[in-house]
Amino acid sequence: MNPTFKIDVAIIGGGIAGLWLLARLRKRGYSALLIESDRLGAGQTLAAQGIIHGGAKYGLRGYAGPTADAVAGMPALWRRCLNGEDEIDLRGAALLADHQYLWATRAPTSRLVAFFASKLMRGHVEKLAEGGMDAGDYPPVLRHPDFHGAVYRLDEPILDVATVLNVLAGRSQDAIVRNQGPAILKADGNLTLHHPERMQWVVRPSVTVLTAGAGNAGLPWATLQLRPLHMVMARGVNLPGPLYAHCVGTGDVPRLTVTSHYDASGRLIWYLGGGLAEEGVRRDRREQIRAARRELQALLPWVDWNPVEFAAFTIQRAEAHQHRGGRPATTGVFRDGRVIAAWPTKLALAPLLAEQIEAMLPTLGVTPHPVDLRPLAEWPRPGIGAYPWDREDLEWS
């Protein structure tokens, strides 16, 4: 007989959704175990740009509603956590920037009017004084006499995502294990942990939560969709300093979203998303890099982009299925008996997702019961995944 123990909640998938849920449930007294088959954050989480959205994307669409209101509260919630002032203590995690910018050059006036008229954005955006070189509040790359446009500061902090994962994993290390073997969820609801150097363990959870992103595929009662992005990275000594900004275009998605990071060798990286990444799914790698060079040259022509290196890769965003494959407005949470499948949709919404799942547990008769996890003390633990710009299989050109 394989050793067995009972637990309140088993979480399968170690991205931001699973780790945040684990932290919340343990804080509330539930016994919970997170099971990961690869590395923590290795799917969508570490490929995110780290933006804690406060609603800029919804504001550009002129959209308001309960979901938009929830998003608007996320920057303040995450900041409280980073300061150790909320239920989930993220002290030790790092902010890359306390806010980001929105800049507009020739964006249609109607688009900006809708943006600033949005109830969602009131109090979350500040126009900066114009002045080119004299505009000390502008990001460095826009402090140029040839820049003619408007710059706004948005209440949207940017996280160093790996440090968030490190903090969450470090505080729940005893409740995170790595599984190496076949599918672990059995028809009877039990889970089997596999490792080539360990005796199998059988876990009997009251509820199982699947937070594995694309790994949740194959559930007939909780269909997922995959929406691709073709992300681009730029690096080189010629990059004009860090930038965290959305550039407004003619559509309801930012023309370009830029965040800045440092790779394992200390080189500055510009990580490019937004409309470039969404439209880029129709282009191959070389075409996408050419498109990125053209876009940067058009928006920031005073920078010499010739010596800058570029790389591109495609990521699939796993989300709850939407009619005609549209963008989900909020989190996706579905239940079949005692199995829950969940997608946060955005990194920023991980706290909301955890709150929604916890609220379901009492309806299933699950109440907090502590469990001694020391029998798993020698079980292997997953490490933290790598950022996209540190991948060894990337081709830079």
Residues 331-374 have pLDDT tens digits of: 999 999 999 999 999 999 999 999 999 999 999 999 999 999 99
Where do the H-state alpha helices sit in 122-267? 161-171
Report the CATH architecture of 95-159+226-317: 2-Layer Sandwich (3.30)
Please give the Cα distance from 284 to 223 (Å, whole number). Answer: 28
CB neighbour burial string for 102-121, b if at least 16 within 10 angstroms, e if fewer: bbbeebeeebbebbeebebb
The CATH number of domain 1-50+160-223+321-397, selected from 3.40.920.10, 3.50.50.60, 1.10.8.100, 3.20.20.20: 3.50.50.60
Strands 191-193 and 339-343: unpaired
Q: Is the pLDDT of residue 5 over 90?
A: no
Burial class from Cβ neighbours inside 10 Å (0-12, 13-18, 19+) for residue 196 reads exposed
Confidence of residue 79 (pLDDT cuts 50, 70, 90): very high
What mean pLDDT do residues 256-276 have? 97
Residues sharing a CB contact under 8 Å with residue 225, sequence separation 6 or more, in sequence order: 318, 319, 320, 321, 322, 325
Confidence of residue 66 (pLDDT cuts 50, 70, 90): low
| pLDDT tens sequence across 127-165 | 787 654 445 789 999 999 999 888 889 989 999 999 999
| Lowest pLDDT segment from 88-102, 109-123, 165-179 | 109-123
Residues sharing a CB contact under 8 Å with residue 393, sequence separation 6 or more, in sequence order: none
In degrees rounded to 5, what are phi and psi of residue 122? -60, 125
Distances (CA, A) of 181 to 173, 189, 190, 196, 199: 21, 17, 15, 8, 12
Token pair for residue 150? 């408007």
Token pair for residue 325? 């494959």
Write down the domain spans for the chain.
Answer: 1-50+160-223+321-397, 95-159+226-317
Q: In what order do the strands lie in the sheet with 100-104?
A: 125-127, 150-154, 100-104, 245-247, 256-262, 268-273, 224-235, 309-320
Please give the Cα distance from 328 to 340 (Å, whole number). Answer: 18
**Nearest residue to 203 via CA among 19, 380, 12, 368:** 12
The model scores a pTM over 0.85: yes
Are the C-beta atoms of residues 152 and 102 closer than 8 Å to each other?
yes
Between 56 and 190, name the one with better pLDDT: 190
- The reply to whether 1-50+160-223+321-397 and 95-159+226-317 are identical in fold is no
| Lowest pLDDT segment from 108-117, 225-234, 368-377 | 108-117
Confidence of residue 117 (pLDDT cuts 50, 70, 90): very low
| pLDDT-above-90 percentage for the chain | 74
The number of beta carbons lying within 10 Å of the beta carbon of residue 49 is 23
Are the C-beta atoms of residues 15 and 43 closer than 8 Å to each other?
yes
DSSP, collapsed to helix, strand or coil, labels residue 260 as strand
DSSP, collapsed to helix, strand or coil, labels residue 191 as strand
Token pair for residue 130? 């114009």
Are the C-beta atoms of residues 284 and 314 closer than 8 Å to each other?
no
Are the C-beta atoms of residues 11 and 34 closer than 8 Å to each other?
yes
Token pair for residue 17? 């959704």
Helix, strand, coil content of the chain in percent (nearest 5): 30, 25, 45
- Across the chain, what does the average pLDDT equal? 90
What pLDDT score was predicted for residue 56? Answer: 66
**Nearest residue to 310 via CA among 244, 235, 255:** 235
